[in-house]
Structure 1
Amino acid sequence: MRLIQLFAAIVLCVFATIANASPEFWRNEWPNTDFERTTVESWREIMSGGPSKDGIPALSDPKFIAASSETRIGDREPVISFEISGQTARAYPIRYLTWHEIVNDVIGDVPVAVTFCPLCNSGMVFDRRVNGALRTFGVSGKLRNSDMVMFDRETESWWQQAVGTGIVGHHTGDTLTQLPSWMESWAEFKERHPDGLVMDEPDWRRPYGQNPYVSYDSSSRPFLYSGEVPPHDVPPLARVVRVGERAWTVQRLRDEAEVREAGLVISWASGQASALDSREINAGRDVGTIRVRDASGRDVPHDVMFAFAFHAFFPDGNWMLPN
């Protein structure tokens, strides 16, 4: 029932957005955005996701606690793990990112934006410096190809989360640097980093640990998406591992456990719950943990996104299918 209600609300948003797909309808909310500069071919590509600007509240300067003292997170729940040499490893639980989508943080001397778009399953960490200038990111409430459109508070430029690129405003054409990170289960993080840090529960009234998109990743079609379905009979909501403009299906990785191609070693291990399956995230079906490394064993920036999103943003991308 929750999924049906969500779908009905989104359908209403689609019709409203098509009618108002023009900067003229957005200028009051975005007075500092330069709509004359854009790479968007048609404003109808940009839809309202329902919430307005900052309706989904991004976080800044989050608090952390010792992993050993955290008792609220289920062992199978996914977290975004991030490590910088010389700094204590940090975990950003998806139970919080589902409701906030962006965390602005600083680790050592590196300012980062930890991002997660539930509708694309896209979770990535970016360096917040753009051409030497520090940027702070928020959630615009807009979607393009069902993916979150972020904005920076300094120039109110719009950024496409799935590719980390400016699409409207002052930073049109600029690209954020993606940093190596990955999703793994809370149990995996604790085992590898018993002295690690985990982001503390934010001071907001949200049902943390619950998934508002029940059964979404088993749907036949994504929400707020009217583009082409992926080729090669890959289901639109199938997870794929994107590295650059290449994509490996998680099903292939699950079947083979490890793939060595294109100078990469990509592995799959069981134990991580889907954040977009059951109401309680910890009870979600097992989608496994992906690690992507180069031939020297160094972690490589990547994303585990839905197949429709890869095809939408990389229409000429290379599908790394089994021989």
Structure 2
Amino acid sequence: MKTIFKIAIASSSTVALIVGGLILRAGGWENFKLQNFHLTQHFHDQSQELGDLRKQNANPEKNSRINLDQLKNGGPPKDGIPSVDDPKFDTAETTPFDKEEKVIGVVVNGEAKAYPYGILNWHEIVNDSIGGTNVSVTYCPLCDTAVVVERGDTTFGVSGKLYQSCLVMYDRSDDSLFAQPWALGVVGPQVNETLPRVPAVKTTLGAWLEKHPDSKILSTDTGYQRAYQEYPYGSYYTDSRLIFPVRNQDQRDQHPKELISYIWQSSNATPHNEFAGDSHKFVHQNMKEIGQKEVQLGDRTVIARWDEQLQTVIVEDRQGDRIPTSPAFAFVYPAFFGNSQ
């Protein structure tokens, strides 16, 4: 018995040393979890989302804009990353976040709201109403893409799947899947349908409050217990690693995590596994240096400029109307928009 006990202790110690070595090699516990989190898919029914579509006679193979083999399981199941569906809000005086916290800032019909990344990293989607308009505020931590869409009477959830390493949302009314960086239906009844977008900016809470001092700020009172003051992705935000396969990276001439913003306008064409329409990217470092740039978006001339206060790219047409943009890591643009510029 003593021999068996000693063998068990020795085996446990060996396993602990091996795991400890793997964690050290990964660069810490958060990096280790991130690199191996996709393995949790084996504990869940990852066929659930496409199965739900089949139950509604929406054949995913026939109703798809993308190659289904490029729809990857991110690890968590459908709604395993829970959206915030009953958001509560703080003020500048009551929020626990400091001025350096990154936020998505949105103004609709004169009402301003800010959504801290500390919360979005854990939930990715907030179903809310701003200025009388129902919206979904969406953020993908693996892509740094932030897209705000009008949601009508439905809500959006996190499908647990990724396309080109980016968030795939689903519409809870019919289970249609949407590629978040395109705001486009890619599988299901709403395939090829584009969601109406709302202008939003990525900035710091301090800069946002200077411009919108009465802004509401999403509260950590979400109904879930999460470490909202901690970044759960290790060194991912700045290192060169991509956890999931991403196409067209030979077209990229920046560090994969270089910060950019992009604009896009879908056309009526529906090429398989590709974007159709106009798009442009703006590398933040370049925009800081040149100040502004004119480009054509469809039949409109639009002006991109560097906003010193918000430290981001703002795009407007010649009449001064805002054009919706999204921030992103540089690897996202060639993956979703190919050779467009």
In the TM superposition, residue 113 of structure 1 has moved relative to its aligned partner by: 0.5
In the TM superposition, residue 79 of structure 1 has moved relative to its aligned partner by: 1.1
Q: What TM-score does the superposition give when structure 2 sets the normalisation length? A: 0.77
Distance in 1 (CA, whole Å) between partners of 2:37 and 2:217 is 33
Say whether the 8 Å CA contact 2:38–2:74 is kept in structure 1: no
Q: Report the counterpart of residue 119 of structure 1 in structure 2.
A: 142
> What amino acid is the match of 2:29?
R
SS in 2 for 1:44: helix
Distance in 2 (CA, whole Å) between partners of 1:225 and 1:265 is 33
1:213 pairs with 2:251? no
SS in 1 for 2:207: helix
Q: Report the counterpart of residue 72 of structure 1 in structure 2.
A: 96
Distance in 2 (CA, whole Å) between partners of 1:24 and 1:260 is 45
Say whether the 8 Å CA contact 1:217–1:238 is kept in structure 2: no
Distance in 2 (CA, whole Å) between partners of 1:77 and 1:13 is 30
Give the alignment partner of residue 330 of structure 2, picking from 297, 301, 307: 307
Distance in 1 (CA, whole Å) between partners of 2:52 and 2:312 is 43
SS in 1 for 2:313: strand
SS in 2 for 1:216: coil
1:63 pairs with 2:83? no
Distance in 2 (CA, whole Å) between partners of 1:73 and 1:242 is 27
Say whether the 8 Å CA contact 1:220–1:236 is kept in structure 2: yes
Give the alignment partner of residue 6 of structure 1, picking from 22, 25, 33: 33
Distance in 1 (CA, whole Å) between partners of 2:330 and 2:239 is 13
Say whether the 8 Å CA contact 1:266–1:292 is kept in structure 2: yes
Map 1:35-46; keep pairs closer than 5 Å. Answer: 35-46=60-71
Quote the RMSD (CA, aligned, Å).
2.7
1:177 pairs with 2:222? no
Compared CA separation, residues 264 and 41, structure 1 to 2 (3 A): closer
1:252 pairs with 2:286? yes
1:233 pairs with 2:253? yes
Say whether the 8 Å CA contact 2:76–2:160 is kept in structure 1: yes
Q: Report the counterpart of residue 106 of structure 1 in structure 2.
A: 129
Give the alignment partner of residue 151 of structure 1, picking from 146, 161, 170: 170
> What amino acid is the match of 1:216?
Y
Distance in 1 (CA, whole Å) between partners of 2:33 and 2:337 is 28
Compared CA separation, residues 232 and 145, structure 1 to 2 (3 A): closer
Q: Report the counterpart of residue 216 of structure 2 in structure 1.
A: 197
Distance in 1 (CA, whole Å) between partners of 2:307 and 2:132 is 32
Distance in 2 (CA, whole Å) between partners of 1:256 and 1:214 is 33
Compared CA separation, residues 71 and 136, structure 1 to 2 (3 A): closer
1:317 pairs with 2:337? no
Say whether the 8 Å CA contact 2:248–2:338 is kept in structure 1: no
Q: Report the counterpart of residue 108 of structure 2 in structure 1.
A: 84
Compared CA separation, residues 4 and 193, structure 1 to 2 (3 A): closer
Which protein has the larger Cα radius of gyration, Structure 1 or Structure 2? 2
Deviations 1:138-195 (A, max 9, x none): 0011001001110011101111111111111111111101111111110111111222
Distance in 2 (CA, whole Å) between partners of 1:30 and 1:142 is 17
Distance in 2 (CA, whole Å) between partners of 1:266 and 1:10 is 38
Give the alignment partner of residue 302 of structure 2, picking from 252, 264, 284: 264
Give the 4+ runs in structure 1 shifted more than 6 A: none
Compared CA separation, residues 213 and 8, structure 1 to 2 (3 A): closer
SS in 2 for 1:265: strand
Give the alignment partner of residue 243 of structure 1, picking from 252, 263, 266: 263
1:163 pairs with 2:172? no
Say whether the 8 Å CA contact 2:111–2:131 is kept in structure 1: no
Deviations 1:223-282 (A, max 9, x none): 21242215252222222211111111112113334334443333335687xxxxxxxxxx
SS in 1 for 2:237: helix
In the TM superposition, residue 7 of structure 1 has moved relative to its aligned partner by: 4.5
Say whether the 8 Å CA contact 2:65–2:191 is kept in structure 1: no
Deviations 1:101-139 (A, max 9, x none): 00111224311010000111000110113xxxx221000
> What amino acid is the match of 1:266?
A
Greater RCO structure (CA 8 Å; 6+ sep):
1
Distance in 1 (CA, whole Å) between partners of 2:252 and 2:293 is 19
Distance in 1 (CA, whole Å) between partners of 2:209 and 2:49 is 47
% same residue: 31
In structure 2, the gaps of 5 or more residues are: 1-27, 265-278
1:49 pairs with 2:83? no
Say whether the 8 Å CA contact 2:124–2:139 is kept in structure 1: yes
Q: How many residues align?
A: 293
In the TM superposition, residue 64 of structure 1 has moved relative to its aligned partner by: 1.9
1:224 pairs with 2:244? yes
Distance in 2 (CA, whole Å) between partners of 1:289 and 1:76 is 14
